[in-house]
Amino acid sequence: MLVGGMRQVVVREGETTVHDLDEAAKINLTGRVLKGEQPVGNAMLFFSAVDGGGAPGDLRQSRTDADGRYQIGLDTAGAYAVVVKTGGAMFGGAQSAIPIQVPDEQNPVVDVTMKSAGISGRVVNAEGKPVSGAVVTVKATGASASGEGHGRGGMQDQTEPDGSFLIEGLEPGVYGLTVAAAGYRNAEVPPVTIANENDVPAVDVRLEPGRTVRGRVFDAGGNGIAGAMVITAPSGTLPSGRDSIPTTSDVNGAFFVTAPVDGPIDITAVATGFPPARAVSVQPQDGVEVVLRAPRPGRVRVSVLDPNGIPVAGARVACRAVPDYLGAGYLSFLDRTPPTGADGTTTVSSLAPGAYELTVASGPKRATSAVTLAEGAEVVLTVPLP
């Protein structure tokens, strides 16, 4: 089985592209995953660079064997956060992000040590029946949020058929907990305290039915966009990942989605090849469709140069909307920017009008530039690396 980072390939019309999946990584990292000094076998591992390590948006994946051992190729030494998934489902058996330091060696050995504390519980509906597939998000709050290893971006689990969930690997501290499920209003639980390194408090959550919002998503020419992912959230908030349950538009661009709260909501539709279609502070009304219209796409052509003015091939470019908004984070996955070619250029496409921060990385070298884009416009940007 092939595991590792996601690799990008540029395919041009009429050409055959050869891509070597066995390209050797600079660092061959090995070690064990341990919990209470016991190996954790058959777990999925997700490595993401932090504080300058690796390339922006680079996520590497591995799996432990029955004895808890793993192996993964990395391009750069430095600080990494490791998320361990011990359940079979993508969102099952969620773990807090575990910080590790990868030394600048060819074959380093680093063990990943999990904490024993966590939060468990069960999610039911108003009739007391279990809710399967609900997404439970846990975030450290207050002073706890400033500590390492708390998973400040939020850790998640998906409930089993009996409504149960378990999020492990958390530090002692105070945590906020929210639950989202299709057809129900989001639920927010009073703060939960983990008293010590072995504490696993139990929380029961009851969900109430939510309102259904009907709408359509169009492109700039008025055509329905099929397959768009439609996300909702309380107005002015930025939920992380799946604590907002998305839906998908049909062949005509029509969608039905559950409002997470009774008050005003923000709605964003994202689809490959289109800028986000957004509506903010929407107060849903029975019988009234919400219309989302994607603007004409803009793009940024980026040229990357070294200190001598020579084009840099293979540099990676990450683009972040400023300020951030609901659904913006999905764009880097739907419309991934290819690395720079032999001429040192690449194009960030399908952008809505607004301000962006672009981060360029080539090995350990990084540079950041700001750009503002009008609807349907193209901006040419030259970024020198130090």
Number of domains making up the chain = 4
Q: Which residues contact 52 (CB under 8 A, 6 or more apart)?
A: 78, 79, 364, 366
Specify if 125 maps to a domain. Answer: yes
Domain that holds residue 158: 118-206
**Please, are residues 33 and 86 in contact by the beta-carbon 8 Å criterion?**
no
DSSP string of 350-376, one letter each residue: EEPSEEEEEEEEETTEEEEEEEEE-TT
End-of-domain residue from the set 114, 147, 182:
114
Dist CA 173 CA 171 (whole Å): 6
Specify if 12 maps to a domain. Answer: no
Question: pLDDT class for 20, splitting at 50, 70, 90?
Answer: very low
What pLDDT is stored for residue 146 in this prediction? 52
Ramachandran quadrant class, 78 (left: phi over 0; alpha: psi -120 to 50; beta: rest)? left
CATH number at residue 302: 2.60.40.1120
Q: Which residue has the tokens 């020198």?
A: 384
Residue 39 shares a structural domain with residue 96: yes
Average pLDDT, the chain: 86
Q: Which residue in 385, 382, 386, 384 sits closest to 371, CA to CA?
A: 382
SS3 215: strand
Specify if 81 maps to a domain. Answer: yes
Question: Token pair for residue 50?
Answer: 């932090």
Residue 98 shares a structural domain with residue 33: yes
**pTM for this model (two decimals):** 0.72
Specify if 55 maps to a domain. Answer: yes
Specify if 234 maps to a domain. Answer: yes
End-of-domain residue from the set 81, 97, 114:
114
Residue 311 shares a structural domain with residue 376: yes
What pLDDT is stored for residue 145 in this prediction? 54
Residue 123 shares a structural domain with residue 110: no
Residue 281 shares a structural domain with residue 304: no
Specify if 1 maps to a domain. Answer: no
Least confident of 144-148, 243-247, 358-362: 144-148
Per-residue pLDDT tens digits for 273-317: 999 999 999 998 888 999 999 999 999 999 999 999 999 999 999
Residue 199 shares a structural domain with residue 124: yes
End-of-domain residue from the set 114, 147, 177:
114
What pLDDT is stored for residue 62 in this prediction? 94
Dist CA 204 CA 190 (whole Å): 11
Per-residue pLDDT tens digits for 147-177: 544 444 467 888 999 999 998 888 899 999 9
Question: pLDDT class for 94, splitting at 50, 70, 90?
Answer: low
Per-residue pLDDT tens digits for 317-362: 999 999 999 988 887 777 889 999 999 999 999 999 999 999 999 9
8 or 71, higher pLDDT: 71
Specify if 193 maps to a domain. Answer: yes
Dist CA 55 CA 364 (whole Å): 8
Residue 135 shares a structural domain with residue 201: yes
Residue 108 shares a structural domain with residue 132: no
Specify if 5 maps to a domain. Answer: no
